[in-house]
């Protein structure tokens, strides 16, 4: 007697198809699972037999072999309990094989016959849709999450006995209702930040173009306060982006059961004691790290030099590529990691500047050397954040300063211009424009080209820095609704790029041209 049931498991953040083949023969009562099963899969035998006995369908002693195909890829997780149980019932004739033809099954079994939640249900549903399966049976606790994937019939079941009745035609399956997204919580307003015109301007440019930003200033200057307001000026997630974010958080087991679908861009702020595996991802089986949990959102690294240098260096490749690749002996896992890096640091170990600083030159050098040149070269915007004066702190709020809603509207308009300007056949943010198309997308005026040429010589910018400066200038021009990059846009981009060193020199002159912060709106 042979029965075949289709199922899925999560490899990285992608669903993978598995054929669960069960062969029942006469002989010694032995239960064998082959196909590189992990410990949780092998232990599923005890859960399956106990659940079947609970439903009154105890199986006679037979030689049972379960094969998980393809057999050369390691399988992990507890979601194979339900398909193995259904395949056994089909092999013994307790459910009609015809009811299994276009369906797939995923779920963990309890000893009482209940069907429990599994991780990554939305990734499994996406794979099931791609395979052309008509129906996916999932645990009832995962039904709302999996039903967020359009184009597939998802049925949630709470117990093995209920599922047997559905397969026998004794009861109708209950279609899962799509879960209602959680209403977005109120975001802190940018207008609450007093002063800091340069930092607010840099924050808006970063949001409009998806650029990374590093802020350096003494304690209490408002760096963290500013960072917490970045999500409030970012545009909302599209439907496709929402599914991507939800899939990663589902695999990590971080979804809210009542409102599983993510509609707000993630904001992750890991502590500086985090390990490389916690930041990039790892484990056995590999799980997403903080950079993947920040996918399509913001990764905020406060007190940047306090992070281990070895940990920070692991960010270099994901910042460029938009993904993290975890290599193991038997397989390689790729996690999406298209995050927006936002970091803050003090100018020195004591945090103070000028006459108040008590640090020695050697200590300051050691502190700043924790950030390597190649890593800083990948940060688009680097700005100083000065302390807020008494007059700004205690005076009336500036009514001319727009709130987060007005800034978000400007950001959305700038991103709409970027969406029309397609690169490699698809819309991309300015920060992600491919190097081969930078000069085409970032067309300069004659004055802008002259200023950039002098800026390259003065600051000794690398080729990467030149491209990143052009991308920032492109975003500034988009905010100003300009087609070509003017001298003013290039000057501001160079100022924000040179950032912690400071200003821009005008071509052919011996004085500095300061590019004042532009209006936010």
What pLDDT is recorded for position 398?
Answer: 63
What pLDDT is recorded for position 423?
Answer: 76
What pLDDT is recorded for position 397?
Answer: 63
Cross-strand partners of 333: 326
What pLDDT is recorded for position 392?
Answer: 80
Task: Identify the CA nearest to 381 among candidates 178, 150, 212, 171.
Answer: 212
Residue with tokens 């916690």: 278
**CB neighbour class for 359 (10 Å; exposed up to 12, middle 13-18, buried from 19):** middle
The span from the CA of 499 to the CA of 20, in Å, is 58
Vertex 477: Cα angle to 475 and 481 (nearest 5): 115
Task: Identify the CA nearest to 77 among candidates 105, 103, 125, 43.
Answer: 43
The sign of the torsion formed by the CA atoms of 244, 249, 251, 257 equals negative
Q: What is the dihedral of CA 84, 86, 91, 92, to 10 degrees?
A: 120
Contact 262, 242 (CB under 8 A): yes
What pLDDT is recorded for position 507?
Answer: 36
Task: Identify the CA nearest to 447 among candidates 510, 506, 380.
Answer: 506
The predicted model scores a pTM of 0.89
521 residues of the chain, pLDDT tens digit each? 899 999 999 999 999 999 999 999 998 999 999 999 999 999 999 999 999 999 988 788 899 999 999 998 889 989 999 999 999 999 999 999 988 988 999 999 999 999 999 999 999 999 999 999 999 999 999 998 999 899 899 999 999 999 999 999 998 887 776 666 666 667 889 988 888 889 999 999 999 999 999 999 999 899 999 999 999 999 999 999 999 999 999 999 998 887 888 989 999 999 999 999 999 998 888 899 999 999 999 999 999 999 999 999 999 999 999 999 998 777 789 999 999 999 999 988 988 877 778 888 898 888 988 899 899 999 999 999 988 888 888 776 666 678 899 999 999 999 999 999 877 677 889 999 998 999 999 999 999 999 999 999 988 888 999 999 999 999 999 999 999 999 999 999 999 987 665 433 333 333 333 444 555 54
């Amino acid at each position: 007697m042979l029965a075949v049931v289709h199922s899925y498991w999560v490899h990285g953040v992608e669903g993978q198809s598995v054929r669960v083949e069960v062969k029942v023969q006469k002989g010694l009562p032995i239960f064998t699972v082959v196909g590189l099963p992990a410990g949780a899969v092998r232990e599923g035998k005890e859960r399956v037999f106990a659940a079947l006995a609970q439903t009154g369908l105890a199986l006679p002693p037979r030689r049972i072999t379960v094969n998980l195909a393809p057999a050369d890829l390691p399988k992990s997780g507890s979601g194979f309990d339900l398909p193995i149980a259904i395949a056994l019932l089909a092999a013994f004739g307790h459910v009609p094989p015809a009811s299994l033809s276009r369906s797939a099954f995923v779920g963990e079994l309890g000893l009482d016959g209940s069907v429990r939640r599994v991780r990554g249900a939305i990734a499994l549903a996406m794979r099931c849709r791609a395979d052309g399966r008509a129906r996916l049976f999932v645990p009832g606790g995962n039904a709302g999450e999996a039903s967020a994937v359009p184009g597939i019939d998802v049925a949630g079941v709470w117990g093995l006995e209920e599922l047997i009745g559905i397969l026998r035609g004794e009861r109708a399956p209950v279609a899962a209702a799509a879960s209602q997204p959680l209403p977005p919580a109120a975001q802190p307003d940018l207008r609450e930040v007093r002063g800091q015109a340069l930092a607010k301007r840099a924050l808006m440019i970063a949001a409009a173009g998806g650029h990374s930003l590093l802020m350096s200033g003494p304690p209490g200057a408002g760096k963290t306060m500013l960072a917490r307001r970045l999500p409030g000026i970012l545009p909302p997630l599209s439907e496709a982006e929402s599914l991507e974010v939800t899939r990663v958080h589902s695999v990590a087991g971080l979804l809210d059961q009542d409102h599983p679908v993510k509609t707000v861009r993630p904001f992750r702020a890991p502590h500086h004691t985090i390990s490389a595996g916690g930041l990039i991802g790892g484990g056995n089986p590999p799980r997403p790290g903080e950079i993947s949990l920040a996918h399509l959102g913001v990764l905020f690294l406060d007190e940047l030099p306090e992070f281990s240098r070895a940990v920070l260096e692991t960010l270099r490749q994901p910042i460029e590529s938009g993904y993290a690749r975890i290599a193991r002996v038997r397989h390689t896992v790729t996690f999406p990691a298209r995050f927006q890096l936002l970091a803050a640091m003090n100018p020195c170990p004591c945090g103070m500047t000028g006459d108040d600083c008590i640090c020695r030159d050697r200590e300051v050098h050691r502190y700043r050397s924790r950030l390597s040149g190649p890593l800083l070269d990948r940060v688009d915007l680097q700005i100083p954040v000065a302390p807020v004066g008494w007059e700004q702190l205690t005076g009336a709020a500036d009514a001319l300063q727009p709130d987060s809603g007005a800034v978000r509207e400007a950001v959305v308009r700038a991103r709409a211009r970027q969406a029309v300007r397609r690169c490699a056949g698809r819309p991309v943010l300015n920060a992600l424009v491919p190097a081969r198309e930078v000069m085409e997308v970032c067309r300069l005026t004659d004055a802008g080209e002259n200023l950039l040429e002098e800026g390259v010589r003065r600051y000794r910018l690398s080729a990467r820095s030149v491209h990143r400066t052009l991308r920032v200038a492109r975003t500034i021009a988009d905010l100003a609704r300009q087609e070509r990059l003017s001298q003013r846009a290039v000057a501001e981009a160079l100022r924000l790029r040179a950032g912690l060193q400071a200003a821009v020199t005008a071509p052919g002159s011996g004085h500095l041209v300061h590019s004042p912060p532009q209006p936010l709106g």
